[in-house]
Structure 1
Amino acid sequence: MVAPREGITIQIHSYKHNGQLHRIWEDSLVLKGTEKIIIGANDKTEVSESDGRMWTTREPAICYFHADHWFNVIGMLRTDGIYYYCNISSPFIYENNAIKYIDYDLDVKVYPDMTFVLLDEDEYEEHRKQMNYPKELDRILKQQLQILLRWIRQKQGPFSPGVIDEWYERYLTYR
C-alpha cells in the first residue's frame, strides 16, 4: 500500500458495510504517513453527509488511523481540554488521495479526565442485522472495542499524555 506524503492535504471518506458512502471530511493535512499509521489534522473543515447535509468542524482535531486496528481516534482540542471521539471501523486504506474506512457505528467518547462512554450500541445492532454482518466480523469488532478501551484506560497510543498536543504543535508549523 502506498502512504500519503507528510504535508499534503487529503480527504477522509467513511463508508458503511454495504459500501454506501457515509461521510467525507475535506482538507486534512497529513502529519505522518506510513503504510501502518496515518496521523492527520484539520480545523474548521467541511464535512459532507450522505444525505447532502454539510457542516463545518468547530475545533482543531488530530486524526489517528492504524492499518492493524479496527478503530480510529479523533482528538479534538477544546478550551477545556482534549476530547476524543473513537470510531469502531475497518482498518484504513489510502487511495486516490483519501483515507477510506468502513464505519461500524459503535463509538466511544472520551472526556478530558479520561472517563468515557460507549455510544450507538442500538445503531450497531440495527445495522448488524440489516446488513448481515458475519459472526466473525462481529467477534472482531467486539474484540477491537476491548483493545480500544484498554488503550484508553492505560493511556496508550493517541491517549498518551501530550501526544495530541505534540501533533497539534506540528500542525501549527504548517499554518
Structure 2
Amino acid sequence: MSDVKPGQKVLVHAYKHNENLYRSWENVRVLEETDEVLVLINEEVLITELNGRKWKTNEPAIWFFLKKSWYNIICMFKEKGINYYCNLASPYVFEANTVKYIDYDLDVKVFNDHSFKILDLKEFNRNRISYNYSRTIVETVWEGIDELKKMIKDKRDYFNHDYVREVWQKFLDLKEQDEM
C-alpha cells in the first residue's frame, strides 16, 4: 500500500511506452486503497492533453486502478446509466502524489447494457511497431482484453452496476460527512 489517504487529491499521469507523458488529470480524489485496488473519484476533473488542450470531465466517475492487472476501469455515470471505459495499461505506480501508468493504446468501451467495443486497434498496432513492444507486453495486453471480456459478460466485479452504485454511495456519504 502507498501513502495515499482517502479524500486526498492526486494527479494521474498516462505515459506512452517511450515514457513520454501524453495525458494528465488534476484534482482526482482518492476514495480508498486496498491490497488489490486504488479507487479514485472524478468530478469535474481537469484533463490536459499532450498538445496542451485542456478540458473537464462531463460526468462523475469512479476510476479503479487494479494493482496487478494490465488495465484500469472508469465507471461513468451518464443520463442513460453506467458506462465503462477500460484502458489497457501497465499496473500503476504511486509517487510524488501522482498515479502513473503506461497506456498501451487499446481501450474497451462498455455500454450500460454490457455490450462493448474494442477501440484503437490501429493505434495499438502502429505503436506496437514504432515503440517496439515486446512479445510479452503484446500477449499481456491481449490477456487483459480477455479478462475484461469475461468480467463484462458475467457482469461481475467492476461491471456490476449495483456494486458500482454502492461505491458511489460510499463516496457521497463520505463527502456529506466532510461538508458538515
Give the AA of the match of 1:144.
G
Give the Cα–Cα distance (whole angstroms) in 2 for the partners of residues 70 and 112 of structure 1.
Answer: 23
Aligned residues: 175
Q: Is contact 1:62–1:75 with CA below 8 Å preserved after alignment?
A: yes
CA deviation string 1:56-80 (max 9, x = no partner): 1000000000111000000000111
Aligned position for 2:104: 104
Report the TM-score when normalising by structure 2. 0.93
Give the Cα–Cα distance (whole angstroms) in 1 for the partners of residues 36 and 79 of structure 2.
Answer: 31
Aligned position for 2:170: 170
Matched, 1:78 2:84: no
Give the Cα–Cα distance (whole angstroms) in 1 for the partners of residues 15 and 3 of structure 2.
Answer: 20
Secondary structure of the 1:136 match is helix
How many angstroms does 1:21 deviate by? 0.2
Give the Cα–Cα distance (whole angstroms) in 1 for the partners of residues 10 and 112 of structure 2.
Answer: 28
How many angstroms does 1:133 deviate by? 0.4
Q: Is contact 2:82–2:161 with CA below 8 Å preserved after alignment?
A: no
Q: Is contact 1:43–1:60 with CA below 8 Å preserved after alignment?
A: yes
Higher mean alpha-carbon deviation, 143-152 vs 68-77, is at: 143-152
Give the Cα–Cα distance (whole angstroms) in 2 for the partners of residues 138 and 3 of structure 1.
Answer: 31
Aligned position for 1:28: 28
Give the Cα–Cα distance (whole angstroms) in 2 for the partners of residues 3 and 169 of structure 1.
Answer: 24
How many angstroms does 1:83 deviate by? 0.6
Give the Cα–Cα distance (whole angstroms) in 2 for the partners of residues 3 and 77 of structure 1.
Answer: 28
Give the AA of the match of 1:23.
R
Report the TM-score when normalising by structure 1. 0.95
Q: Is contact 1:41–1:63 with CA below 8 Å preserved after alignment?
A: yes
Aligned position for 1:64: 64
Q: Is contact 1:3–1:33 with CA below 8 Å preserved after alignment?
A: no
Higher mean alpha-carbon deviation, 85-94 vs 33-42, is at: 33-42
Unpaired runs of 5+ residues, structure 1, are none
Give the Cα–Cα distance (whole angstroms) in 2 for the partners of residues 62 and 123 of structure 1.
Answer: 26
CA deviation string 1:124-166 (max 9, x = no partner): 0000000000111111111111011111111222112312211
Unpaired runs of 5+ residues, structure 2, are none
Give the Cα–Cα distance (whole angstroms) in 1 for the partners of residues 34 and 9 of structure 2.
Answer: 15
Sequence identity, in percent? Answer: 37
Aligned position for 2:161: 161
How many angstroms does 1:35 deviate by? 4.6
Higher mean alpha-carbon deviation, 140-149 vs 165-174, is at: 165-174
Q: Is contact 1:3–1:35 with CA below 8 Å preserved after alignment?
A: no
Shift in alpha-carbon separation, 1:155–1:7, aligned structure 2, 3 A: same
Secondary structure of the 1:150 match is helix
